[in-house]
Amino acid sequence: MGFEIWHFVLGIAIMLNVVVSIFLVRRDDLEVFQKGAQIFIVWLIPFFAAIGLWLLNHSQDTPAKTRKSFGGGPQDSSGAGSSGD
C-alpha cells in the first residue's frame, strides 16, 4: 500500500514540475538563461521550488495598485471644496 502512495506523490510532483516549466518557458519577461536556471531549480527541488517560483513570477503579473494623491484634491482648510470663482 505504501508503494502506491509514493507513485501518487511522484506523479503529482512530475505534473506540478511540468506545469510550472511550461509556465516559465512561455514568459516573455525572462531571458533564456533565467528560464533555464529557474526550470533547473524546479526539477532539482520538487514541490517547494515549483510552487515558490510560480508564486514569484505570477506575482509580477498583477499590476501595482495606483496611489491616490495625498490630500484628496482641491479643498480649503475647512474641508469644503473650493468654488474656484
Amino acid (one-letter) located at 72: G
The x, y and z cell numbers of residue 47, run together, are: 514541490
What pLDDT score was predicted for residue 75? Answer: 61
Report residue 9's pLDDT band, with 50, 70 and 90 as the boundaries. confident
Tell me the pLDDT tens digit for each residue of 33-85: 999 999 998 888 877 888 888 888 888 776 656 665 565 556 656 656 555 55
The ranges assigned to domains in the chain are: 2-59
Roughly what angle, to the nearest 10 degrees, separates helices 48-59 and 32-44? 150
What spatial distance separates the first Cα and last Cα of the chain, rounded to whole Å?
A: 83
H helix runs in the chain, sequence order: 2-25, 32-44, 48-59
What pLDDT score was predicted for residue 81? Answer: 59
What pLDDT score was predicted for residue 31? Answer: 93
What pLDDT score was predicted for residue 80? Answer: 62
